Structure 1
Amino acid sequence: MFYNWPVRSRPGYFKGFSMTNDQGDRISNLAKTTLHDGWSRLVDYSFDYRFSDGRVVKRSWEVSERPAASSVLVFDRSAGKFVLVRQFRVPVYAMGEGDGFFVEAAAGLIDEGETPEEAAIREAREETGYHVEELLPLRSIISAPGLMTEKVHCYAAIVDETMRVGSGGGLDEEHEDIELVFLSFDEAMAMVENGALSDAKTVVMLQWAALNRHVFGL
């Protein structure tokens, strides 16, 4: 199910923008070598790349092949707050970004046989404890185009206290330890502004919320 909400447009914002593919085939002689096959698959792509001036060079690129994911920005209208999650992220810790605990929207990989919408509803329930009945599709984003193949399908959902069916916190069998973070619109925007909230998909969704506050009754 989807909300059929009107969304404020920005007339002319992308006027004149176009994508063309008149350069012909720029990639040839592609070969792939799997370097590691675990939770993610690391693959070396080697290929001949033709520049726009006709030069051809041999290139090699390591790509992390990842399945698609879904993320949902949950808004509890009873409390007037966004429901985000805080959890330990090893890469963030490895980067030396604070203690490694990261605030973001509920998200997860799409299981085999699931649709992106089904995954978003499941993740919202597992991580936040809310049973989402309807979704507003926002957009799909490429997480890190220079590194991995992961695409994240982003949604928004409006819930209320009657739709709270659990405590959230993730799944024990997946060793998830998730804390719920309830933020007003102003609090969420302040965290984006000061860098306390820096997860890309969540920033994108909150910026969408800032442009479409009427959707959330804000």
Structure 2
Amino acid sequence: MSNNIKNIVYRTLSKAWATLLEINYDYRFKDGTWKRISRESYDRGHGTGILLYNVDKGTIILTKQFRMPIYHTNKDEAMSIEVCAGAIDDNDLPESTIIREVEEEVGYLVKDVKKVMETYMSPGALTEKMYLYVAPYSEEMKVNEGGGLASEHEEIEVMEIPFSKALEMMVSGEILDAKTVILLQYAQINDLIKNRE
């Protein structure tokens, strides 16, 4: 790959909340021609997401919160239903990050999480890689009400719903978040949670 790219020039467009770069480079195509390409790359670090499930109850835990980028394009979909998730800070491990986020966002203290995949959510524009997990939860693990951190300006609604309903919401378009769709489909494909009403 390194033989097909040269003359890379970076220009910082913004370093407000994260880093937005303009990257110009020469790229050699399969026919041997070189072309000058310009792209923008948004670096906000990497993230984690987790599907919490209760086999006995046939339920899962999701969150609901306002998302300004969605509001900007479609006001009706701005209250996004998602799995619990969070950004990885500095040198933190993905696993310790998601365990902390679960306690902060939804109020459960989980210890054993299973990584199911790593995925780039929008590789044409974002550097972010998502580390996706699943973990069982029970009422004994409940340590607080969740809702996120006021210091991070979070206002998160915690939703405990039947897994079967979540699948219906995915099909109907009520759930549109990609990491959530991926984890719901993972759970469905692997028969992680029995469908119950």
| TM-score over 0.5 for the pair | yes
Aligned: 1:111 with 2:89: yes
Q: TM-score scaled by structure 1?
A: 0.86
Q: Of 171, 189, 194, which residue of structure 1 is paired with 2:172?
A: 194
Shift of 1:184: 1.1
Q: 1:80 aligns with which of 58, 71, 79?
A: 58
Give the TM-score of the pair, scaled to structure 2.
Answer: 0.94
Deviations 1:97-117 (A, max 9, x none): 415110000111011231000
Structure 1 position 34 matched with structure 2 position 16: no
Unaligned runs of 5+ residues in structure 1 are 1-20
**SS of residue in 2 equivalent to 1:62:** strand
Q: Is the 8 A contact 2:116 2:134 kept in 1?
A: yes
Q: Which amino acid aligns with 1:103?
A: I
Aligned partner of residue 35 in structure 1, secondary structure: strand
Question: Which residue matches 1:150?
Answer: 128
Matched, 1:125 2:65: no
State the alpha-carbon separation in 2 of the partners of residues 47 and 197 from structure 1. 38
Structure 2 gaps of 5+ residues are: none
In structure 2, which of residues 34, 38, 44 is the aligned counterpart of residue 66 of structure 1? Answer: 44
**Root mean square deviation, CA, Å:** 1.4
Q: Aligned partners of 1:181 and 1:27: how far apart in 2? A: 47
Q: Secondary structure at the match of 2:3?
A: coil
Tell me, yes or no, if structure 1 residue 216 matches structure 2 residue 193: yes
Report the equivalent of 2:70: 92
Report if aligned partners of 2:163, 2:193 keep a CA contact under 8 Å in 1.
Answer: no
Could you say what secondary structure the match of 1:61 adopts?
strand
Question: 2 CA distance for matches of 1:189 and 1:97?
Answer: 23
- In structure 1, C-alpha distance between the alignment counterparts of 2:61 and 2:77, rounded to whole Å: 21
Q: How many residues align?
A: 195
Distance in 2 between residues matched to 1:173 and 1:78, nearest whole Å:
35
Distance 1:189 1:28 in 2: 46
1:162-201 pair list within 5 angstroms: 162-201=140-179
Q: Which residue identity lines up with residue 90 of structure 2 in the other structure?
A: E
1:12 is aligned to none
Q: What residue is the counterpart of 1:11 in the other structure? A: none
Task: Kindly indicate whether the alpha-carbon contact (under 8 Å) linking 1:76 and 1:161 is maintained by their aligned counterparts in 2.
Answer: no
Structure 1: which 4+ aligned runs deviate by more than 2 Å? 76-80, 215-218
Question: In the alignment, residue 116 of structure 2 is paired with which amino acid?
Answer: L
Report the CA distance shift for 1:217/1:191 in structure 2 as closer, same or farther (over 3 A). closer
Q: What do residues 49-91 of structure 1 show as CA deviations (whole Å, max 9, x unaligned)?
A: 1110001111110111120111111113453211000000000
Rounded Cα–Cα distance in structure 1 between residues aligned with 2:194 and 2:175: 23
